[in-house]
Amino acid sequence: MVKVVKFGGSSLASAEQFAKVGNIIRSDESRKFVVPSAPGKRNSKDIKVTDMLYDCYALADAGEDFRIPLMKIKDRYDSIINGLNLKLSLEEEFKIISENFKNKVGVDYAASRGEYLNGIIMANYLGYEFLDAADVIFFDEDGSFDAERTHKVLAKRLDNMENAVVPGFYGSNPDGSIRTFSRGGSDITGSIVAKACKASIYENWTDVSGCLVADPRIVENPQPIKVITYRELRELSYMGASVLHEDAVFPVRKAGIPINIRNTNDPEAEGTMIVDSTCQKADYTITGIAGKKGFVAVSIDKDQMNSQVGFCRKALQAFEENGISIEHMPSGIDTMTVFVHQAEFEGKEQQVMSSLRRLVNPDYTELEADIALIAVVGRGMKSQRGTAGRIFSALAHANINVRMIDQGSSELNIIIGVANEDFEAAIKAIYDIFVVTRL
């Protein structure tokens, strides 16, 4: 068995956290390849090293003195090195970084140094080989990830290694310069490494014990999710649930490699298994609840709309012409409602309405703002009768008015629209009826 283990910033924020990570890796000899993030916050008032690097490079880019901020970053790493009693010096590395900052090599280079330096420390601490991500992870000229070349080169390099540390978050452009993934991109690196070494499992270690049925900021002590499918995770992630970077799913999903979300501070907890498919029944009818505030409903009424070929396409063209993406589109015989992000729509609402009149000449249009969308997701909903009825019952009991309901034919999820002010109460009511009382 071969495991790839990725550790987030909070797991590597201090020497104490590093020691926990070391114990986790050494406790299982199949954990052969490690992907570290940059050091995160040690406490709520602390600053992530990546943010420190961004701020430091901004000074360099503006031609200002950045030496003191850079020394503060070095101090963060030295405190980890000294806390672990390592015979390691990053003096030369910081001289190179300082010179590159002076030469203004780019903000991506600056941001990537957090993972790069943490990777050097991790490799030294574990006695593993260090493999610079810039040598094995590649981007195209247009900045898109070069999956084919990366897989070919990385798989060959890992095949000749027993154990290795590959820093997350970055790779290289065709000219050799550094390019980063979006924030949280270490998750992606871990997934790429797992695919390349044909891992049995990809363990993603963070500061939570896996995925939760609901947002803990809304529901107190929500139940953990033991097993979730990639499709369910995609639905929840799209509606705001954030445990794993979305792009991290695709490489391992194609390779059939499961992901295990684990907690560095509670290594005995099993966490959440993310799999392609499963015959295991969920503990509850629903797998999870997630949602977002800040949508506008654009209702379009037109008599005999259903008999007009191309009506929906023409209506959606009004949004496309103005660069506005569509979230949901429930419809009836003579009406359709388009949900869009309020922040994106507000500055262009009159242009969109004008385009609608020109393209489809509706009998009536109506705009309703300040709407929240909530996704109730679960593979178990298909086999349970009355799921939608139970949702309506819970919301009615909580005196919440439902503005919209949309259910796909797969019966994997139900999208509900409520007023922004009812968002938290709605999630609590749905959680209560399916998880707490199980009515």
Q: ∠ at Cα 418 (292, 232), nearest 5°?
A: 50
Distances in whole angstroms, Cα of residue 434 to Cα of each of 79, 128, 213, 321? 47, 47, 10, 42
Q: Which residues pair with 80 in a beta bridge?
A: none
pLDDT at 400: 95
Enumerate the domain spans of the chain: 3-207, 288-436
Whether the CB-CB separation of 226 and 271 falls below 8 Å is answered with no
What pLDDT score does 249 carry? 80
Give the number of other Cβ atoms within 10 Å of residue 135's Cβ. 14
The confidence score (pLDDT) of residue 408 equals 67
Tell me the C-alpha to C-alpha distance, in Å, between residue 412 and each of 63, 225, 235, 252, 381.
54, 16, 9, 22, 7
Segment 60-66 shows an average pLDDT of 96
Amino acid letter, 358: R
Half-sphere exposure of 341 (CA within 13 A, CB side): 8
Phi, psi of 221 (to 5 degrees): 50, 60
Using the predicted structure, report yes or no on whether residue 1 has a pLDDT greater than 60.
yes
Pairwise CA distance, residues 57 & 69, whole Å:
9
Of 68-82, 332-346, 403-417, the range with the lowest mean pLDDT is 403-417
What three-state secondary structure class fits 129? strand
pLDDT in tens, 26-62: 999 999 999 999 999 999 899 999 999 999 999 999 9
pLDDT tens digits, one per residue of 232-247: 888 887 777 766 766 7
CB 15 within 8 A of CB 86: no
Tens-digit pLDDT profile for residues 208-227: 888 889 999 999 999 989 99
CB 321 within 8 A of CB 357: no
Q: What is the arithmetic mean of pLDDT over 369-396?
A: 87
Closest CA to 57 of 11, 105, 3: 105
**pLDDT over threshold 70, residue 106:** yes
> Shortest CA distance to 195 belongs to which of 245, 163, 158?
158
Question: Looking at residue 20, what is its pLDDT?
Answer: 96
**pLDDT for position 246:** 66
Please provide the average confidence, as pLDDT, over all residues in the chain.
92
pLDDT attached to residue 243: 66
CATH topology of domain 3-207: Carbamate kinase (3.40.1160)
Q: What average pLDDT does range 414-424 have in this prediction?
A: 94
Dist. CA 286–CA 412, nearest whole Å? 9
- H helices within 197-262, ranges in order? 230-238, 249-255
**pLDDT value at position 410?**
64
Q: Give the confidence band of 321 by pLDDT, cuts at 50, 70, 90.
A: very high
What are 72-97's pLDDT values in tens digits? Answer: 999 999 999 999 999 999 999 999 99
Closest to 406 (Cα-Cα) out of 382, 373, 383, 378? 373
The per-residue pLDDT for range 150-187, each reduced to its tens digit, is: 999 999 999 989 999 999 999 999 999 999 998 777 88
20, 30, 33, 36: which is closest to 267 by C-alpha? 20
Domain 288-436 class? alpha beta
pLDDT at 439 over 60: no
